Chain A
């Protein structure tokens, strides 16, 4: 139980209510044994975030929407020739990995000192990964949706007018919808049968099942810094590291990191 309390929540950057917009870089190392024996790696400047913080008298709320899109590879691109009578080159190269996450956390201070405080509460952690693997002459679509709840904890403080925080979280129970053992099975095919994006999305997510912290372990660590530039505006920086380990239907290891800067308006 102790270690659960040490892992907790999305990003609580500022103690004030405000709206924050960020942009930056993200990196990913993902090894999904459903699709590959080799980890895919990539770095992207396409990483953004939008966060809303509301601080009440007793509780703080934060909703954080973030996304990134990167070209992941196992190594250098290479070509092969496909076709016997109409031969043409095919390239095994970048696979576009897209992640969207939406987290919501709520909690309050359990320790409140003059220059630092410890907040504890609960969070809803939601993440969708789209990973259509480029296999040269063909491709295979992969997906992973995780919708979970878990505890959070945040340590925040203030130094020389700048506010900083470190937060951590892990879903304890989550609905996990992930590409099946063989990537394409009948439920997957049935989910795509409508060929309409929204219906297919919900169809795929419905293929999931509830999982506990084992076999899916997905801790996050967030750091945030806010430097006031006026009474209402802050410059903000945000960094996070996230690990996803899943054991079913085949092993998945996903390590990601992101760094972004932006601005926040306080209200």
Chain B
């Protein structure tokens, strides 16, 4: 009822008392406390972080001080789904890889298009995919997806259009996620049997162990099967639904993961408006492999770890793709 009274007050006069910096900090801390899904999987002592980062705030602390305290606290989560947005500021990424653009230059789609694909590639007006053949090994068909959503049906066309290729590279580096239910359908040709690929559960209450029951998601065959050897390329910017896409493909016998570990942020993300108007996004789920392996916070490891050499990338050579070809052509 106090909230209803506040709303009616707002309706009546269009105003509300300004919360202080400690009150706002507490509201944001509480929001994470009551919604965040990653405490256990990431081993976070949220109480301690709240105590540490609120200590310097006073009732007369300004917005900059609040921002520093909140972002300092959120940085400790190092979570790719935790972002804080405020007027006239750079959107804050909790995840250090994104925040500091670590190894961001080790992926360059233009260099791949002009170099590894020899300038002969297909895309669309929105550049929702890049499809081509490797110049140095034309038997390898290449597809890059910058996200996984309504662009993933292209996979079916890619497989049909590249029937005479004898090996495949699906590049999910710098794939920023989307909606994993799209690849769950689009990747059906890669399996001839039902494969449990991951399971997830969602916060459904304010206590940190308030979660729904687990839901196991499965990759199901569609009839045709494409069993050609395939490398899935990953990097630290392979995040969210893209990581779930990797989890769909990783168990398949014809698939090898090459690259660097994924970001390690697989839970579904939501956003919410804070009392001062700032916007906070965070994941509300736990996700794990069917066998209980947790990749949250650590990323899905590749079988062959390689990071493209930035200097060679500038010359049109992607050493991660070269490593993928080596895997595909290994006797």
Contact = CB atoms under 8 A, between A and B. Distances in A.
Interface of A: 29, 31, 33-39, 74-75, 78-85, 87, 90, 92, 133, 135-140, 180-187, 189-190, 192-193, 195, 245, 249, 251, 253, 255
Contact of B85 (A38, A136, A140, A193): A136
B144 interface: no
19 contacts: A29-B10, A31-B3, A37-B274, A39-B7, A82-B91, A135-B279, A136-B85, A136-B279, A139-B271, A180-B202, A181-B204, A182-B284, A182-B285, A185-B268, A186-B201, A189-B179, A190-B215, A253-B3, A255-B7
Contact of B271 (A75, A135, A190, A253): A135
Contacts of B7: 29, 31, 39, 253, 255
B27 interface: yes
Nearest to A37: B275
Interface band, chain B: 35 or more
Interface stretch (B96-104, B121-129, B309-317): B96-104
Given A135-B279, A138-B269, A185-B204, 12 more contacts: A37-B274, A39-B10, A82-B85, A82-B91, A84-B90, A133-B273, A186-B201, A190-B181, A195-B181, A249-B204, A253-B3, A255-B11
Nearest to B273: A36
Given A36-B272, A84-B104, A195-B150, A185 B202 contact: yes
Contact of B275 (A38, A140, A193): A38
A182 B200 CA distance: 13
Given A37-B273, A195-B182, A253-B7, A80 B88 contact: yes
B145 interface: no
A254 to B, nearest CB: 10
B277 interface: yes
Nearest to A137: B91
B61 interface: no
Interface in B245-299: 268-275, 277, 279, 281, 284-285
Contacts of A80: 85-91
